[in-house]
Amino acid sequence: MEKTIIALVQMQSIVGAIEDNLAKIGYFVQEAHKQQADFICFPELSVTGYCNKTAVNFQEPIPGASSKKLSQLAQDNQIAILAGICEENAGDKPYITQVLCLSNGEIIKYRKTHLGVSEQSYFSAGDCFMVERTNCGAIGLELCWEMHFPEITTILTLNGAEIIFVPHASPIIAGDRKEVWLRYMSTRAYDNCVYLAACNALGENGCGTQFSGGALVIGPKGEIITEDFSGKEGMLVAALDNETLNRIRYSERRSMRDSFYLNYRRPELYGDLWR
């Protein structure tokens, strides 16, 4: 992994106000470019706005109008953009998709594989995980509810992920984001020696749901690198030092402190996981 600068945005997205949401995304992309960020991540369904019953009315193909605009923003600002779109699914329910638009014009998409109970009536689940190797390092994606399944983080790490972005659309009723995230995210990061970078939707979505916001970066030893739980729209920027991760993952082990635990697994004993 190379030294990398990431930006995380907590923002209000109004359901169906796609042009306004894209304009706001464009503003933050330009601000991240000024700070020489390599990646900028926006919340789940940040382009469409998140509402189970309503967001499906604004589904788009990918590539389509919104993803092409995001791609052009990525090229113009030489930054990788991760943003959420309700993706059209011919003949079936749409996907909750996070697109990764690279600075070379490539558009990559990840479809949420594990749907919350309230999402299953309105969306289809994806069927594969995503790890993308970039010039800065290998990145993976988990969307909101998926972070509750520790196997996903481990699979992404085993496939090379060094930074995992975790876009959320968690409403206020789901609990205080900092308290909830720190119950499990520090453990996921520590056990897998991976950076976790989470951001959440903020404010009222135009359909009566209030989101709590929040942005958090956790390092490969489970430590908090930086955070923003101010409840205000904004962008959190973090410079990720590659030394700790590279020492643990890719150097000869010198102490228990530097163990990459996944190298010492015994999968032949884990059959009960697949029941």
Per CATH, which fold does 4-274 belong to? Nitrilase/N-carbamoyl-D-aminoacid amidohydrolase (3.60.110)
Q: Which residues of the chain have pLDDT under 50?
A: none
8 Å CB contact between 130 and 107 = no
| Nearest to 46, CA basis, from 169, 144, 139, 165 | 169
0.85 exceeded by pTM? yes
Span 51-74, pLDDT tens digits: 888 877 899 999 999 999 999 999
Distance between CA atoms of residues 21 and 19, nearest Å: 5
Tokens 């399944």 appear where? 149
Question: Domain-by-domain residue ranges, the chain?
Answer: 4-274
Span 153-163, pLDDT tens digits: 999 999 999 99
Could you give the count of Cα atoms lying within 13 Å of 154 in the half-sphere of its Cβ?
12
- State the sign of the Cα–Cα–Cα–Cα dihedral 81, 221, 244, 264: negative
Distance between CA atoms of residues 26 and 76, nearest Å: 11
| Nearest to 67, CA basis, from 17, 31, 32, 22 | 22
pLDDT at res. 138 = 97
pLDDT at res. 53 = 81
8 Å CB contact between 113 and 127 = yes
Q: E-strand spans in 156-201? A: 163-168, 195-200
**CA dist 122 to 17, 56, 172, Å?**
20, 7, 21
Who contacts 141 (Cβ-Cβ below 8 Å, separation ≥6)?
Answer: 82, 98, 100, 110, 130, 164, 165, 166, 167
